[in-house]
Structure 1
Amino acid sequence: MSGLDSLYQELILDHSKRRVGFGLVDEGPGVATSYQRNPICGDEITLRVRVEGDRVSGVTWEGAGCAISQASASMLASLVAEENGMPRTEASALVDGFREALRSRGTIELDEETFSDAAALSGVSRYTARVKCAMLAWVAFEDALARA
């Protein structure tokens, strides 16, 4: 295993243990919820998005599953948790870019400047059985964003 792969593996394990955004906020104005489940492996997530105007101001979640699914949710929450929120259009573009890279079977790497810690999930794309694990939170985020 290369040094970079080892670092990425440690980052995934760290996020799966120290989960950013874990614990659902109360529902209310501007908050939308999505529940997603991967029936193949049993991973599941309930994710809530808070939208204020045209900006995503927060992501919280609860879930259970493998280290990849839990780390991916944590990385997503960390990425979206900007000081003044993230524009909805930028949030949608992130989901599209993440999906494209994860479906690429290793031919597209996630840019670390754009995806921050989530770039560590690039290697998952080489293992098609694990792509759904990494995508679960992002699909929930996309769904909740559409509902908000």
Structure 2
Amino acid sequence: MGRRDRVPGEVMLGRAELMTLTCGDRLELRVARDGEGRLRITWSGRGCELSRGSASLLTAELDGLSASEMAQRSDRFLAAMGRRETSLPGAETFLLVVAANPVRSVCATLAWRALGQALSGAGLGSPG
């Protein structure tokens, strides 16, 4: 399950595959550059509704942004989850309700951690 549509002329730049040990969620996230130079995010995987929903939200919010914008938004979200903040500028605010539950926050952050690794692996950002 996931957003897997490939764009003609797309060039794969980086990928990361992560798994949560507590519930077995698995996610592969890919960052590619399309024929027009935009960064695209695709993912596939299986797991709970929270991890899949978070991956879909990440894709909807960050797909097409620059690498630095992706990294900044991802880093900010992960930091907010760690501090149990209540507000962020994007739709990722809705995921903050699980920040107080360590097991569920692992599911909510899976795709966001994978994005940091994929960007880092592509030489486009630092791991978050």
Q: TM-score, normalised by structure 2?
A: 0.81
For 1:90, the aligned partner's letter is E
Deviation at 1:51, TM superposition (A): 3.8
122, 128, 131: which one pairs with 2:96?
122
Alpha carbons 1:47, 1:61 under 8 Å: kept: yes
19, 23, 26: which one pairs with 2:4?
23
Find the aligned partners of 2:15 and 2:33 in 1 and give their Cα distance.
Answer: 11
For 1:134, the aligned partner's letter is A
Equivalent positions of 1:1-148 (< 5 A) are 22-23=3-4, 25=6, 29-51=11-33, 57-81=39-63, 85-104=64-83, 106=84, 108-111=85-88, 114-116=89-91, 118-148=92-122
Q: TM-score, normalised by structure 1?
A: 0.71
- Deviation string, structure 1 residues 35-74 (Cα, Å, up to 9, x no partner): 111111101101111147xx76211111111111000000
* Secondary structure of the corresponding residue to residue 103 of structure 1: helix
Over the matched positions of the two proteins, sequence identity in percent amounts to: 29
Alpha carbons 2:33, 2:39 under 8 Å: kept: yes
For 2:68, the aligned partner's letter is T
* Secondary structure of the corresponding residue to residue 40 of structure 2: strand
| Structure with more of its chain in helix, by fraction | 1
- Which residue number corresponds to residue 125 of structure 2? none
Alpha carbons 2:25, 2:107 under 8 Å: kept: yes
Find the aligned partners of 2:16 and 2:102 in 1 and give their Cα distance.
Answer: 24
Q: Which runs of 5+ in 1 are unaligned?
A: 1-18
Structure 1 vs Structure 2 CA RMSD: 2.3
* Secondary structure of the corresponding residue to residue 59 of structure 1: strand
Q: Which runs of 5+ in 2 are unaligned?
A: 123-128
Find the aligned partners of 1:66 and 1:92 in 2 and give their Cα distance.
Answer: 24
- Structure with max Cα Rg: 1
Deviation at 1:146, TM superposition (A): 1.0
The runs of 4+ residues in structure 1 deviating greater than 4 Å are none
